[in-house]
C-alpha cells in the first residue's frame, strides 16, 4: 500500500525571506496579521496551540506581493483544553510569551508571538532586543520578562496610533488582558481592507468577511 500526499507548491518564500529585503509597511503587516490570526483562531477553535509563530513558519504561495500565506511546521503544536494551564516549554525563544517562559500558559501564548512577529516586521527587530543571535537562551528569556517594548512616540514615528495600540494589546504581559486570536481579528487594524500607512487613524468598522 502507498500513501500519496498532495501539497501546495509555495514558491513565494517565507515571511523572513521578504523581511530580509526590507521592513514591511503598516498595510502589509496588517495583511500578515490577518492571515496569522485567522490561522490561530482556527487552530484554537479546534483545541490546538500552534506554539511556533515566527517569520520562518509562514510561506507565500506565490511571489506576488498580495499572495496568500500558508502556515507550516506543526511539529511543536499541542492539544489543549479550555481553562487548563500548561507548563512544557515549546517554540522559538525570541517569540515566547512571558507566561510560556514561566511555564504557566494557555493558547494566548500564540497571540503574544503574533505581536512579536508584527513588531519585527515593522521595526526590523524584536521588541525586547536588537539582536538575539549573540545572546544565550537565558539572556533572551530575561529580556522578554523584564524589558518593556518601547511604545514611545519616537519609536512609532510614521506609524498610526491604531497600529501601536493594537500591538500594545497583543504584547500585553497579562494573558487575561490579552485578546484571543478570534477577538483580535475584530480590531479594525486587521479588519479593514484599507489600512492606513500614515499616522492618521484607520476608520473603524466591522469585518466584512467574518472569521471562523
Catalytic positions are 52
Report the candidate in 57, 37, 178 with the shortest Cα–Cα distance to residue 114. 37
Give the residue among 125, 135, 130, 53 at the shortest CA–CA distance from 96.
Answer: 53
Q: What is the dihedral of CA 161, 145, 174, 19, to 10 degrees?
A: 40
Q: List the grid coordinates of 174.
A: 497579562
60 CA to centre of own chain: 16
Joined together, the cell numbers standing for residue 63 give 511571489
Cα dihedral 64/70/73/76 (nearest 10): 130
Amino acid at each position: 500500500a502507498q500513501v500519496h500526499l498532495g501539497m501546495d507548491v509555495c514558491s513565494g518564500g517565507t515571511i523572513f525571506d521578504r523581511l530580509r529585503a526590507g521592513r514591511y509597511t503598516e498595510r502589509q503587516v496588517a495583511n500578515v496579521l490577518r492571515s496569522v490570526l485567522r490561522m490561530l483562531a482556527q487552530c484554537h477553535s479546534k483545541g490546538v496551540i500552534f506554539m511556533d509563530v515566527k517569520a520562518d513558519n509562514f510561506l507565500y504561495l506565490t511571489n506576488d506581493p498580495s499572495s496568500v500565506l500558508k502556515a507550516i511546521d506543526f511539529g511543536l503544536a499541542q492539544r489543549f483544553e479550555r481553562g487548563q494551564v500548561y507548563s512544557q516549554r515549546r517554540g522559538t525563544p525570541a517569540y515566547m510569551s512571558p507566561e510560556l517562559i514561566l511555564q504557566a500558559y494557555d493558547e494566548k501564548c500564540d497571540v503574544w508571538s503574533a505581536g512579536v512577529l508584527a513588531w519585527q516586521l515593522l521595526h526590523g527587530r524584536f521588541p525586547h532586543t536588537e539582536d538575539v543571535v549573540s545572546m544565550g537562551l537565558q539572556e533572551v528569556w530575561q529580556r522578554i520578562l523584564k524589558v518593556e517594548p518601547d511604545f514611545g512616540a519616537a519609536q512609532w514615528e510614521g506609524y498610526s496610533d491604531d497600529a501601536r495600540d493594537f500591538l500594545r494589546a497583543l504584547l500585553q504581559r497579562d494573558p487575561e488582558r490579552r485578546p484571543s486570536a478570534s477577538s483580535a481579528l475584530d480590531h479594525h487594524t486587521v479588519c479593514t481592507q484599507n489600512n492606513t500607512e500614515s499616522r492618521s487613524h484607520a476608520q473603524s468598522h466591522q469585518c466584512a468577511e467574518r472569521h471562523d
